[in-house]
Amino acid sequence: MLRPLVIALHGAVVNAASWIPVEQALGDSVEFIAPDLPGHGTQRDRPFTIDAARTLVDDILTNQPTHRRIVMIGDSLGGYLAVLIAAQASTRVHAVVAGGTTFDVRGFGGVLLTCTDLLSRGLERCIGPEASAAAFERMLHYMTDTVTAEAIQACGLRFAARTESIAELRQVDIQRAVRAYTGYLYLVNGSLDIPIVWHTKTFARMAPRGSAFIIPGAWHGCAVSRPREFADIVRTAIATT
């Protein structure tokens, strides 16, 4: 019997290794594909664009049997991509589980993220790239287990991808994509991920088949910091009929 396929898209700066705990939690019940997005990990020698990410995922979808159950999952940047790509391939994607995605990056939201990015880059210039990378790596060790944090570091971090992804996301209408996707959409946020968490239920109501999940005590990047809870939601998405 053909197992369901889970396609996992990671967040900005990090890489596919961030999905190790979720893949382990799901076990052998699924086939798990977690590619490095353009501009990240093994693909960090090229800039990130949404079109390049879409091409990468489309190639994976094209090679799957038409009757296979496919669930796309993503966190932060990966969550936005999962929704955007699934909205154009609704008949192929049974469900989407998207973390940290309920924030419209256009308008004021985009200005806020751009200002945050400028502050981060200013701090990086002040303390130097090595100190900045060390601080991010310490945050990874705080968020997840040592094995996963070290795997993410080994696959390579690319901070320029954060700036590129914000610029790309400012050009898209995520709310339109949420409304357009006709499969099952599970929107997941940490309760401490302010202001993104404030819009969880609003976005879920926009979707034809939307559901909202808030993980208590979690911050942004809940798939990394709370992989078992995230994996439980993925199981629900796979089983939904």
Listed by start position, the domains of the chain span 5-239
Cα–Cα dist 199/101, whole Å: 9
Per-residue pLDDT of the chain (241 residues; tens, 9 = 90+): 799 999 999 999 999 999 999 999 999 999 999 999 999 999 999 999 999 999 999 999 998 998 999 999 999 999 999 999 999 987 899 999 999 999 988 876 666 676 676 566 665 667 666 767 788 889 999 999 999 999 999 999 998 898 899 989 999 999 999 999 999 999 999 999 998 999 999 999 999 999 999 999 999 999 999 999 999 999 999 999 8
pLDDT at 190: 97
Cα–Cα dist 153/144, whole Å: 12
pLDDT at 189: 98
pLDDT at 115: 64
pLDDT at 91: 84
pLDDT at 106: 83
Cα–Cα dist 202/123, whole Å: 34
Q: Is 87 in contact with 181 (CB distance < 8 Å)?
A: yes
pLDDT at 114: 66
| Number of Cα atoms under 13 Å in the Cβ half of residue 84 | 26
The CATH class for the domain spanning 5-239 reads alpha beta
